[in-house]
Chain A
Amino acid sequence: MSNLLNYTLRIADNALILGQRMSQWCSNGPTLEEDIAMVNISLDLFGQANGFYEYASSIDGNKSADDFAFLRSEREYFNSLIVEQKNGHFGDTIVRNSLFDVYAVLFYIKLGKSKDETLAALGSKSLKEAKYHLRHSSNWLIRLGDGTEESKEKVQTSLNDIWMFTGNLFEMDELDSEMFSSGIGVNNTALKPEWDKEVNKILGKAKLTRPEDSYMQTGSKKGVHTEHLGHLLSEMQYLQRTHPDAKW
């Protein structure tokens, strides 16, 4: 598998898996407006994933975008661990998305300047949407954190629980380093100070306490995931696995 293909899949997988998570809110949102909001976010993410998978497909020359989305097993996915975490209650989702959205905005700003024209175009396109998603998630986080005693306690717990998956976002393995030094990829580690600043700002407004950076989960870049990804894929891939090549 070429480096560029592998790298493109990492970006696509983040969008697809978070998109699938957001689609699980369909008809389960706390209010009708929120239901619509979360499914709209899901749609944006699927659109972004499609752009990156189409590019992956053109690099690969053999597999289609759908093959990449539906016919890989868990160990062949390279999304960050944070996006596969379960939706939980509304506050859990808002915390997960806020932390990821801040990263996504910073990541896409840099990807928009990639030497690879397609990745740069897809990055700039995704950036506009990521900014809007961040506005949605961070506003809710502030509202819940600075809300009632109960909402504050709930999102503080969500934050403490998910924190160990944030370190994974800023890892650089050999592939990332190669892509970065060739001017195509993003230096994830260099995004951390800006991410810290932005996250601290939101948490400050939300009157939440930032957890300590202690043990961080890792593994996604080697295809090692938390227990939740397999369950998500089994539902998402069910139709293609049961009826191969089925078309709408």
Chain B
Amino acid sequence: MQNGNTKHVWEILNTVPDPEIPVISVVELGIIHDVKSINNTFLIYITPTYSGCPAIKTFQDDINSCLRKNQIENFELIIKYDPPWTTDLMNDETKEKLKKYGISPPSETVICPQCDSEKTELISEFGATACKALYKCKDCLEPFEHFKCI
């Protein structure tokens, strides 16, 4: 039985956490392009953050099980590359959540999530996941991760 409209699906999707950064949802991350309802089937368009992001499979599995748990059975997950994902898809509230979690959010000036200092220094352009770079704060001297702007 098909239950609910696309708004309801968006709400459910908003409860699916990012597998790497559990404080934000897949919707907040901006990887859900669109949800359409056609012939009693929900078409959910997902876009990968990075082409090689290994989390894309986990995203699909998590979304799959969460929708089923909410009695939504007729849906299809479709990978879509266009338009490409960008960090601009995250709003200020999401960025604040990242910061509280200890990840410096995407921005022109890299700010230390610990002490808010703008005096930061790049350690490496790549971090523990494809979407992050490594920085160091010159004021509090703490190393931290920065969500790369793309």
Residues of A within 8 A of B (CB): 33-34, 36-37, 40-48, 50-51, 117-118, 120-122, 124-126, 128-129, 132, 135-136, 139
Smallest Cβ-Cβ distance to B150: which chain A residue = A128
Smallest Cβ-Cβ distance to B81: which chain A residue = A121
One of A45, A124, A129 near B83 (C-beta < 8 A)? A124
Interface segment among B10-18, B21-29, B119-127: the answer is: B119-127
Additional A-B contacts beyond A33-B126, A124-B81, A132-B148 (14; CB < 8 A): A36-B127, A41-B126, A43-B130, A44-B50, A44-B52, A46-B52, A47-B50, A51-B51, A51-B81, A118-B81, A124-B83, A125-B85, A126-B51, A129-B150
Q: Which residues of A contact B86 (CB under 8 A)?
A: 128
Smallest Cβ-Cβ distance to A136: which chain B residue = B125
Q: A51-B81, A120-B82, A125-B84 are in contact. Are A132 and B51 (CB under 8 A)?
A: no
Q: Taking the complex as formed, is B48 at the interface, i.e. its CB lies under 8 A from any CB of chain A?
A: yes
Smallest Cβ-Cβ distance to B54: which chain A residue = A43
Residues of B within 8 A of A (CB): 48, 50-54, 80-86, 123-128, 130, 134, 148, 150
Q: Are B51 and A47 in touch, CB under 8 angstroms?
A: yes
Q: Are B52 and A34 in touch, CB under 8 angstroms?
A: no
One of B83, B128, B150 near A36 (C-beta < 8 A)? B128
Q: Which residues of B contact A135 (CB under 8 A)?
A: 125
One of B52, B84, B125 near A43 (C-beta < 8 A)? B52
Smallest Cβ-Cβ distance to B125: which chain A residue = A136
Q: Which residues of A contact B54 (CB under 8 A)?
A: 43
Q: Which residues of B contact A44 (CB under 8 A)?
A: 50-52, 130
- The complex places the Cα of A120 from the Cα of B81 at a distance, in Å, of 9
- The complex places the Cα of A121 from the Cα of B48 at a distance, in Å, of 12
Q: Are A47 and B83 in touch, CB under 8 angstroms?
A: no
- The complex places the Cα of A41 from the Cα of B84 at a distance, in Å, of 18
- The complex places the Cα of A47 from the Cα of B48 at a distance, in Å, of 10
One of A42, A43, A125, A132 near B81 (C-beta < 8 A)? A125
Q: Which residues of A contact B82 (CB under 8 A)?
A: 117, 120-121, 124-125
